[in-house]
Amino acid sequence: MRLNDSEMKVTSTKNPPSRRYFLKKLLSAAVGLWFWHRAINPSSALEWRLDDAGKDAHQKPPSGTGFIFHKDYLQHRLTQGHLESPKRLKTIMDRMKVSGLGKQVRPIRPLGNPLSAIHRIHSRAHVRLVMKTAREPSICFLAVAGALTAVDFVCRNQLRNAFCAIRPPGHHAANSGLRGFCFFNNIAIAARYAQSKYRLRKILIVDWDYHHGNGTEWAFYDNPSILYFSTHCLQAFPHTGFPERRGEGPGYGYNINVPLLKGAKDRDILNAFDRELLPAAERFKPELVLISAGFDSRKNDPIGNFAVTDDGFARLTALTKSIADQYAGSRIISILEGGYNPEGSAMAVERHVAELLG
C-alpha cells in the first residue's frame, strides 16, 4: 500500500490584561490539566520523580538503557485502517516481552508538562492547530513528554541511553501545518530542551528514517550547535533533503543530507554513515547524540523502498554508539519515528535496543 503526498499531511501586557494574555494562560492550564489526568499515575511503581533521579548523578557512571512508554500511546489514532496505527507500538511491546529485552531495560513513564519546551520550537498558532486537529491532543503532548523524560534521565547520568517507544512521530513537524503523520517535532524539542536545561553546547541528531526529516532541518538550519545528519529517499515524501541543503549563515555545514537510491541495502546506508557522518562527528564532537529511529527504511515496509535488514540496524546503532562513546559520554536518546510493517519494525527495534544495551 502506498500513500500519496496529500495523505501524508496531517508577550507581556500592561494592565488591564489583554484577551491574548488570558488565552495563553488558558492554553497552559488546559495542557497542565491533561497531564494531571492522562499522564500522571502516582500509584505506578514505574514512575520516578525526576528531582530525585539525579541526586547521585556525579557519584557513579551512567549505566543501563531506559525504555520510555505509556499505554496511552496506543490510544492515538488517525483514520480507520491508517498505517500509523497503535499496532506499531503493540507489536514492539510484544516483541520486547517475547525476546526478554523487556526485563533488561529500565521501564520509565513520561512525566511533566512539556508546553514550555514545545514553545522553544513551535509557535502558539501551531500548538492551537494541534489542539484543534488531533483526536486526542493530550497524547501528542505525552509523546513530547516521553522524549523530555529520556533527556532528563540520560543527561542526569541516571541512564547511559534510552529508547522512546512513543507516537505520534515527529520529524516532519514544523510550523507549516500537520504533515507526515506528525504533530510536534519530538526530537527537535528534546534537543532544545537538553541545550537549555543542561547547557549542552553541541548535539548530534542522526536520522535514518526512509523519509527526510524536513521539520528537523527547518528547526536548526541556521544553528551551528546542532549537527543534523539524514539518510533518506529523495523520491519519497516530503521530497526534500537535497545534498546542496547544507545550512545557512552560522549553520552552514551543519546540515548533512545523504540521499540514497531506492532499494538501498545495508552496505549503502552504512557506507553513507562511514563516509559522511563519522568525519563530521569527529569535527563536531557532540555532547549528546539523538536518533530519529525510523524503521520504514527496513526491507518490506509498505511505504519505504529501502532494503535495510535487522542486522543493518544493529550495525547502524553500533556505529552511532561509537560516536557517543568517544565524544558524548555514551549518552544516546533514540526516538521512534516511522516504520509501518509492524512485525518487521518490531524485529528491527529488538536489534536496535539490544545493541543499546550492549
Could you write out the three-class secondary structure of 277-312?
HHHHHHHHCCCEEEEEECCCCECCCCCCCCCECHHH
* Between residues 27 and 307, the one the model is more confident about: 307
Q: What is the pLDDT confidence band of residue 247, given thresholds at 50, 70 and 90? A: very high
C-alpha cell at 355: 545493541
Q: What is the pLDDT confidence band of residue 47, given thresholds at 50, 70 and 90? A: very low
What is the structure's pLDDT at 59?
Answer: 41
What's the mean pLDDT in 335-357?
98
What is the structure's pLDDT at 271?
Answer: 98
d(CA 320, CA 288): 11
| pLDDT per position as a tens digit, 295-307 | 999 999 999 999 9
What is the structure's pLDDT at 19?
Answer: 57
Q: For residue 108, give the amino acid letter.
A: I
Query: Residue ranges per domain, the chain?
Result: 15-49+64-357
3-state helix, strand, coil in the chain (%, to 5): 45, 10, 45
Among 76, 122, 172, 352, which one carries the catalytic annotation? 172
CATH number of this structure's domain 15-49+64-357, picked from the four choices 3.40.800.20, 3.30.70.20, 3.30.365.10, 3.40.50.880: 3.40.800.20
Considering 22-26, 29-33, 159-163, the range whose residues carry the highest mean pLDDT is 159-163
Residue 172 known to be catalytic? yes
What is the structure's pLDDT at 22?
Answer: 47
Residues 6+ apart with CB under 8 A from 139: 38, 72, 73, 75, 76, 167, 168
The pTM of this model reads 0.86
Q: How far apart are the first and last CA of the chain?
A: 36
Do the Cβ atoms of 203 and 191 come closer than 8 Å?
A: yes
What's the mean pLDDT in 332-357?
98
| pLDDT per position as a tens digit, 288-333 | 999 999 999 999 999 999 999 999 999 999 999 999 999 999 999 9
Q: For residue 267, give the amino acid letter.
A: R
Residue 230, classed as helix, strand or coil, is: strand
What is the structure's pLDDT at 11?
Answer: 31
